[in-house]
Structure 1
Amino acid sequence: MKKYHALKTACRLTGIALLAAVSTSVFAHPHSFIDMQTTLVTRDKNLIGLKMVWTMDEITSADLLYDAGKATPDSVVWKKLAAEVMARVMAQHYFTNVYRDGKPVNYMRLPSEYTLSRSGDKAVLEFVIPLAEPAPLAGKPLLISTFDPSYFVDMTYKGAQALHLPADAAAACKISLFTPAPNASLQAYALSLDKADAPPEDMDLGQQFAQKVTLQCQ
């Protein structure tokens, strides 16, 4: 019973209850997929925030889009749904870690802006994470990773083209993406988990699949 409740909590991490599906492949771990894009927000040669765009898969989006119905994008309905989803993302520290020289770079608890919208059959969450203090672009690289520790939700950049530098930083900065290649046994273990299972917390399964973004500036 404890596993069931832990898994149900993980299922709600993005504020969405997943729909049941006929295909058995849906029950493989992970159960939900988010396609990410990130734009670095800079000012006066400092990094001041991260603008993220998360596009959820159709099954994950279904409940949200059903609740939104035919409401217009600027309606109270969409604003309420956005607040509910954003609150759950914030409760998990945006699922995002930022490090420099082995030390965490802190960010504000509240996003400076956020919206939830529809793109076809998918829900799209956009938000900006402001840093607690500006981080100079020059110096040791900044390392950024976004992942669900349980790997219940797969959070992935499709490629380096999903990472964006503002024009004023493009000349001096390079942004790169590293995608890990977990060994076959770890991949098999992840696939063996179903909706009645959750990996041990100390295993930090999601981090072993997490992509790493590196920002290096001169």
Structure 2
Amino acid sequence: MCNRIASFALISALFSPEASAHPHSFITLVTTVMSENDQLTGLKMQWTMDEITSADLLYDAGDAKPGSPVWKKLAAEVMANVLGQHYFTEFWHNGKKVTFNNLPPEYGLARVGHQAVLTFVLPLAHPQPFKGQTFQFATFDPSYFVDMSYDNSSDAKLPKTLASLCKISVKTPQPNEDTLAFAQSLDKADAPPEDMELGKQFAQQVILQCQ
């Protein structure tokens, strides 16, 4: 089996040559906050890749059945890339960044129609008491090669245990005209300066407020 998923930057190259501006690939997010014993413990994530981005993954999987060694190997390869980028996620509490465990307690990769879907649990390194607190998190590719976003605000979810205690909302940024023009000017051979964090300027912010 050929490994075509060395990095998310490579995934972007799967797009057609006509693509002339960032982003080149698209991942749709669904995230559920996880809690236990009055503390936030992590995030359960579902990433659905667009059909073109999914194509090579699904080609490598072939006709393998769900849960087979083929799918497990592909899932491990994709997850290793995600871990190498700190889950492509930042989580904040009181202006301080919350750290994550280096290994997810569970993850998997599956085929849904013509798309590849990665699911995993992002564990907080230290559970956070949530009563009376506000948290903020965002999932994004800093280079903005890959657009990672929620189709609907309802795709950021609360479990039933938190539904009466917390509110969750998705805030979509509005980058200025200069930032938009710069992103549109980049082609597939270009990469924005690392310190610019272009993807962060387009990243949706999920805000969790608990009473």
- TM over 0.5, yes or no? yes
What aligned pairs does 1:11-90 form with structure 2 within 5 A after superposition? 12-13=7-8, 16=11, 18-19=13-14, 21=16, 24=18, 26-90=19-83
The aligned counterpart of 1:198 is 191
Question: Contact (CA 8 Å) 1:118, 1:124: kept in 2 or not?
Answer: yes
What aligned pairs does 1:105-116 form with structure 2 within 5 A after superposition? 105-116=98-109
CA displacement at 1:15 relative to structure 2:
7.2
CA displacement at 1:132 relative to structure 2:
1.2
Question: Contact (CA 8 Å) 1:18, 1:63: kept in 2 or not?
Answer: no
CA displacement at 1:20 relative to structure 2:
5.0
Question: Contact (CA 8 Å) 1:15, 1:85: kept in 2 or not?
Answer: no
Question: Contact (CA 8 Å) 1:41, 1:50: kept in 2 or not?
Answer: yes
The aligned counterpart of 2:206 is 213
Runs of 5+ unmatched residues, structure 2: none
SS at match of 1:37: strand
Runs of 5+ unmatched residues, structure 1: 1-9
CA displacement at 1:11 relative to structure 2:
7.9
What aligned pairs does 1:149-164 form with structure 2 within 5 A after superposition? 149-164=142-157
CA displacement at 1:186 relative to structure 2:
1.3
The aligned counterpart of 1:4 is none
TM-score between both structures, scaled by the size of structure 1: 0.90
Q: Distance in 2 between matches of 1:174 and 1:16?
A: 35
Q: Distance in 1 between matches of 2:6 and 2:198?
A: 15
Question: Contact (CA 8 Å) 2:44, 2:122: kept in 1 or not?
Answer: yes
The aligned counterpart of 1:174 is 167
Q: Distance in 1 between matches of 2:24 and 2:15?
A: 11
Q: Distance in 1 between matches of 2:153 and 2:32?
A: 11
Question: Contact (CA 8 Å) 2:11, 2:25: kept in 1 or not?
Answer: no
Q: What letter matches 2:7 in structure 1?
A: R
Would the alpha carbon gap of residues 116 and 61 (structure 1) be closer, same or farther in structure 2, given more than 3 Å must change?
A: same
Q: Distance in 2 between matches of 1:189 and 1:17?
A: 18
Question: Contact (CA 8 Å) 1:46, 1:137: kept in 2 or not?
Answer: yes
Structure 1 runs of 4+ with >3 Å offset: 14-18
Q: Distance in 2 between matches of 1:189 and 1:152?
A: 13
CA displacement at 1:202 relative to structure 2:
1.2
Would the alpha carbon gap of residues 11 and 83 (structure 1) be closer, same or farther in structure 2, given more than 3 Å must change?
A: closer
- Paired residue for 2:121, among 112, 115, 128? 128
TM-score between both structures, scaled by the size of structure 2: 0.93
RMSD over aligned Cα, in angstroms? 1.7
Q: Among all aligned residue pairs of Structure 1 and Structure 2, give the percentage whose two residues are the same amino acid.
A: 58
Number of aligned positions between the proteins:
207
Q: Distance in 1 between matches of 2:164 and 2:10?
A: 38
- Paired residue for 1:100, among 70, 93, 98? 93
